[in-house]
Structure 1
């Protein structure tokens, strides 16, 4: 007999809960289904990744179509994903051209709204939060907003640097809280802050998971094992990183502050920091803890360094003005994070489709190159959008009159079942996406 679960049923233990991945034996995302009716499919998710300061001016390009599409060196980490990719050239944000500086080009990237200057904070509600307002009631978290660099509250060229530190805005005057601590992001998904001990969330739900195994198919038992192993691996890596003192945070306890005073500067191990955030993003979708995420790999006008690449002599922002081989290395490192997320999602089966097929993973930046050129924004979209997006496309809107970036957002909202007649400065979606 098949065990019937709704979306609200989780594995539970002392102070912890663990959402389930898609399984053929369980109706995790559906309500009750009449006899003979087909099971509901997996939901459509939206992930937006941001890399500040644009990319190498001579190596961000694509030629051709489909799996044979030729990619510039920046995009080569995505070579094996070309049939799942839509490369978009020529979209822009008209409001971002008014200030022509980092903050004024980033604060409205996901909204297309006018920005207030002079240190005043006013932007627009970003597309991820518009989506969260519509679909967030069905999940544990309306959205998950992650970052790998702390916010900068200063002023630059008459604009608040909060604009360059946040791409997600819950309202025109409120940037969505940004989580840069992997352990605390993990806690948001699995509720481990409420546990009386510091033991694993998996240990806490072990009895319930063993009961579940006895009621599901052999295929789903393997799916469950793979998923639990993924959660365990992230737990171990967070714990090890905290012991090394290389990340800004570790799992909090009830006997002291939730987090210690963050170390000055940036995480020493940026590779592990970014990879943990990527894994947490995938887990959030896999468990349907949320259907909307943003991951800011760095700030625009950011100060990250990259010693693992042999590039430790200049911060990210200054490096972006060089168009050097080292700048290319940094670009490719960022694209490797995008590729890692996509491959992880591609390897997770949800019925007849994969998690990547059921998702939209957008990579964007607030400028095309490090010289503040925002007349055409870099855009790559991965995933099938629930079977509604055709991959392998190379689209160019450079010579078209209506090339607002917000047209893409209207298209993405539509794939999630959110029909709007306008968003930002756009009144029609992109027909090709």
Structure 2
């Protein structure tokens, strides 16, 4: 394998630096020695753990595939995953029992959201005395977060979410609007603004006065992040071989495109702000069009994983109970309203349309990861990505036989490309224990877990 004429070797955590910027790099061939050492480590080396939440359940008839094992047939909702089917397992039979009422009455959406990563039944309160449990992502972040620049990232495709007051049948808004919990009383609010995510990934948070001053100067001049590291990048490329130069160029081009897309949205919103205000509240979402917002957020997630900026991520695409309409696919009614379909075929069909739209975006994200080379495989090969919901049929608010996907190869520890049927009422948290173990995270129990899954 050709590295460079100078045979240089770089550590995996190599950065380009400029005015107020610390820019992580993708995996390059000249980092192979350090990656080989990591692969020999007890935890199996570089792996990522990502949790993605889709709200309001699914039309399970359109979700559930035919057959089990590795010869299963994708359902109509899951059909967009065909290009990456060998990297995706459909898991059936998992449950979140703690999302049920258990004597607390209504409030399934708040319980589903807060229970999804904790496996804990939330205390029913609309006050400040919230209590649920530590989420799986934060269990991982507390143990291995120190290995990356950011311990974890929490994201959403909503601009802002209420964190105070009551939202769902006497449950505090914090339950319904957060997936990630640092402890039983402290949620980790997700970020919905792609500009803030971009800055968090690629701008320094150091207390170095020169770097802080440099960042202020860059922003005052509205400079591109890539422009301010251009000199360092140019000098760096001289030491790389042909393959690495090509890979670095692809990475910087993708980063530039994402940055430009964010800047375009900012300019568009600035132009809109100067126009007469409409007689209605400003719609949620950055960018203005929801599909654009989802795409940019998935692009940023892929960049964070490619650069090893963090290995722990959560994405709450929309909060439980979201009543967002989807006019861009011909669905003008609110999502939550439709989920209470009363077995009306037309409403169920529209729910299936919404579900398929979200799976199309997941397929786009997985495709990006599959195209990112890393060592002898891809970023997707080295990832474990859970996509799902804590509600199955939204009409009945069922919390068993949940819609769950497990994507990626887990650094060779998973066997993707199958439909796996577990025993009924198998705790979802058993899956999380199994994934945490593969991340090198020590956890004997999580929420209502009863043990680890062996068939993933």
Give the alignment's TM-score, normalised by structure 2.
0.85
- Which residue in the other structure is 1:90 paired with? 93
Deviations 1:171-210 (A, max 9, x none): 1111113110000100000007852222111111111111
**Correspondence list, 1:386-401, <5 A:** 386-399=411-424
CA distance, structure 1, for counterparts of residue 32 and residue 233 of structure 2: 16
Structure 1 Cα separation of the partners of residues 363 and 122 of structure 2: 32
* Per-residue deviation, 1:419: 3.1
Change (3 A) 1:397 1:420: same
- The answer as to whether partners of 1:66 and 1:391 remain within 8 angstroms in 2 is no
Matched, 1:316 2:326: no
Aligned partners of 1:367 and 1:377 also within 8 Å: yes
2:326 to 280, 294, 306: 306
Shift in CA distance, 42/214, structure 1 to aligned 2, threshold 3 Å: farther
CA drift at 1:114: 2.5
Aligned equivalent of 1:425: 448
Question: CA separation of 1:66/1:350 partners in 2, compared to 1, >3 Å: closer, same or farther?
Answer: farther
Which has the larger helix fraction?
Answer: 2
How do 1:349-368 residues align onto structure 2 when only pairs under 5 Å count?
A: 349-368=373-392
1:106 corresponds in structure 2 to 113
Among candidates 107, 121, 129, match of residue 130 of structure 2: 121
| Distance in 2 separating the partners of 1:334 and 1:246 | 29
CA distance in 1, matches of 2:155, 2:66: 32
- Following TM superposition, by how much is the alpha carbon of 1:293 offset from its aligned partner in structure 2, in angstroms? 0.7
Aligned counterparts of 2:44 and 2:394: Cα–Cα separation in 1: 42
CA distance in structure 1 between the partners assigned to 2:387 and 2:162 by the alignment:
22
- For residues 365 and 373 of structure 1, the distance between their equivalents in structure 2, rounded to whole angstroms, comes to 11
**Equivalent position of 1:13 in the other structure:** 18
The question of whether the paired residues in 1 share the 8 Å contact of 2:124 and 2:170 is answered with: yes
Aligned ranges 1:32-111 → 2 under 5 Å: 43-65=46-68, 68-98=71-101, 99=104, 101-111=108-118
CA RMSD of aligned residues (A): 2.5
1:241 touches 1:247 (CA, 8 Å); kept in 2? no
1:31 to 1:89, Cα distance in 2 relative to 1, 3 A: closer
| Distance in structure 1 (CA, Å) of the matches to 2:318 and 2:11 | 37
Cross-structure match for 2:344: none
Q: Secondary structure at the match of 1:417?
A: coil
Task: Give the Cα–Cα distance (whole angstroms) in 2 for the partners of residues 237 and 248 of structure 1.
Answer: 17
Post-superposition Cα deviations, 1:40-70, rounded to whole Å, max 9, x if no partner, equal: 9861001111111011132110123566421
Distance 1:69 1:265 in 2: 39
2:255 corresponds in structure 1 to 231
Count of residue pairs the alignment pairs up: 414
Distance in 1, Cα, partners of 2:449 & 2:350: 37
* Offset of residue 329 of structure 1: 1.4
Note the alpha carbon deviations across 1:329-349, whole angstroms, 9 max, x for none: 111111111111111000111
2:146 aligns with 137
Aligned to 1:297: 317
**Secondary structure of 2:420's aligned partner:** strand
Q: What residue is the counterpart of 1:151 in the other structure?
A: 161
Unaligned runs of 5+ in 2: 1-5, 206-211, 274-280, 342-346
SS at match of 1:59: helix
Instruction: Compute the displacement of 1:353 (Å).
Output: 1.1
SS in 1 for 2:412: coil
Sort the Cα spacing of 1:305 and 1:247 in 2 relative to 1 into closer, same or farther, 3 A: farther
Counterparts of 1:182 and 1:248, CA distance in 2: 18
- Return the offset for 1:271: 0.7
